[in-house]
Amino acid sequence: MTHTRKIALLAALTLSMGACDLELTNPNSPTEEEVITDLDGLLAVAVGMQGQYAQAIDDYMVTNSLITDEWGTQSRALISYQSLLTGENFDRSYGVVEAPWSASYSVIKSANTVLVGADQVGLGAGLRAGTVSLAKLFKAMAFGMLIQQYEKVPVVVTTEGSQPQPRAVVMDTILTLLESARSDIASVSDADLAGFRTRVAGTGLNLRATIDAMLARYYLIAGRHTDAITAADRVPLNTLSVLSYPSPSRNPIENLAFQLLYVAGLKSFATQAEAGDRRPNYWLDTTRAGPVGNPRDTTLLYLRKYSTPNEAFPLYLPDEMKLIKAEAYARTNNLVQALALVNQVRTQTSSTVDEPVAGLPAIVLATQAQILAEIARQRRYELYEQGLRWEDTRRFGTAVTTVPTQPWLPIPQQECDVNPANPCG
């Protein structure tokens, strides 16, 4: 997606998500001071922050899905996309390297603006709690996407020369933000959050559930297994929390695959599935020939999920919570509980929400290594193109049957040029 088109779509999404108009002295160029001292302006930033993240989903998927074994490139794809797929002739100046970085820090800066301004305008208790919690959530999710793609990233973005920090520091930042976001609304009733839901929250967003789901996800990545189980247990499995794309905005994955004709699913995702698994046909159109791949020997299938312009993107899927708990139990050697959860995922045949179901028979496994390998397999088919596959290759190692074409994205050349504190040698 071109930069200009992204700006247009973001503007449209921000307006369609609605809430309130930005009424400032100079609405075409408000200063940060004007924004953070104006009620409508601050809420507009909170609304726009969600739009920024929603329109960055393709930036996160492009790297994740091409570097692993999810997507291939169509004939119109940029050279940089093909480089992600093959691992050859890769360059830190490519837009695919810059895009996740700049998109994430745009979200983070918007979140910071909301957090600074929250106590400077008369939000009221419920509206303030929801808005502050939302800003911390999206800031944490943006850092989460960053740390899954870059080995080190700055956590302080308000000063020149911010030093990139190692994963452990960034993980602590993410979890601290999420824990604080949960605390902000823990004692606030749903009734008191009604104004927040009307004026700020995106359509389909479940704030409490998403915070707990992100806590479960990042506790697991951080190796805090007991905490991951506790958080996952709090997430309701009969509801989704989604990023919405009301017209005139459109789902950026659909745009990438069907308008720009850059990417499609690898046919190997379907052919390597266990016989009888229903999930490949949930994600991909396995009933017709796919587009021509580039390189030409790459066999592709059209996407089925995210193939329509206004299709929502789930911030998490219910079975991710089951697989988080299964992995946490397996890594702490509670194999009985781990296998039971794996079989819940395998044997599911229906759902009250829009999610993939496997429809497979239960399985009997005896060792930790076997169970972890099965969890890795289930995550591949349950969580396809959700931006988690690359990180899974790091945790599961040889249990994941793919080798990423890149270990990490390098720090973008543009960032190297403007920030000498970055280790870009």
Residue 418 confidence (pLDDT) = 84
Q: Measure the CA–CA gap between 109 and 121, rounded to whole angstroms.
A: 19
Residue 123 confidence (pLDDT) = 87
Average pLDDT rounded to a whole number, residues 355-362: 98
Residue 177 confidence (pLDDT) = 98
Burial (CB count within 10 angstroms: exposed 0-12, middle 13-18, buried 19+), residue 301:
buried
Question: Is 346 in contact with 363 (CB distance < 8 Å)?
Answer: yes
The model's confidence at residue 233, banded by pLDDT at 50, 70 and 90, is very high
pLDDT at 267 over 80: yes
Which residues are bridge partners to 150 per DSSP? 409
pLDDT at 215 over 60: yes
The model's confidence at residue 35, banded by pLDDT at 50, 70 and 90, is confident
Q: What is the mean pLDDT of the chain?
A: 91
pLDDT in tens, 139-193: 999 999 999 999 999 999 876 668 899 999 999 999 999 999 999 999 999 999 9
pLDDT at 202 over 60: yes
Cα–Cα distances in Å, from 292 out to 63, 264, 280, 384? Answer: 20, 9, 19, 21
Question: Is 390 in contact with 68 (CB distance < 8 Å)?
Answer: yes
pLDDT in tens, 393-425: 999 998 888 999 999 999 999 888 887 777 786
Q: Phi then psi for 266, rounded to 5 degrees?
A: -75, 130
Helix, coil or strand: residue 243:
strand
Question: Is 169 in contact with 155 (CB distance < 8 Å)?
Answer: yes
pLDDT at 42 over 80: yes
pLDDT in tens, 306-323: 999 999 999 999 999 999
Residue 224 confidence (pLDDT) = 98
The model's confidence at residue 21, banded by pLDDT at 50, 70 and 90, is very low
pLDDT at 12 over 80: no
Residue 14 confidence (pLDDT) = 42
Question: Is 293 in contact with 72 (CB distance < 8 Å)?
Answer: yes
Average pLDDT rounded to a whole number, residues 363-381: 98
What single letter denotes the amino acid at residue 256? L
The model's confidence at residue 74, banded by pLDDT at 50, 70 and 90, is very high
pLDDT in tens, 87-128: 999 999 999 999 999 999 999 999 999 999 998 888 899 999
pLDDT at 47 over 80: yes
pLDDT at 18 over 90: no
| Residue 204 backbone zone (phi > 0: left; psi -120 to 50: alpha; other: beta) | left
Residue 425 confidence (pLDDT) = 65
Cα–Cα distances in Å, from 170 out to 131, 145, 186? Answer: 23, 11, 24
- Three-state DSSP string of 344-392: HHHHCCCCCCCCCCCCCCCCCCCCHHHHHHHHHHHHHHHCCCCCCHHHH
Instruction: For the chain, give the percent of residues with pLDDT over 90.
Output: 83
Instruction: Domains for the chain: give ranges and CATH numbers.
Output: 1-202 (1.25.40.390)
The model's confidence at residue 380, banded by pLDDT at 50, 70 and 90, is very high
What single letter denotes the amino acid at residue 379? R
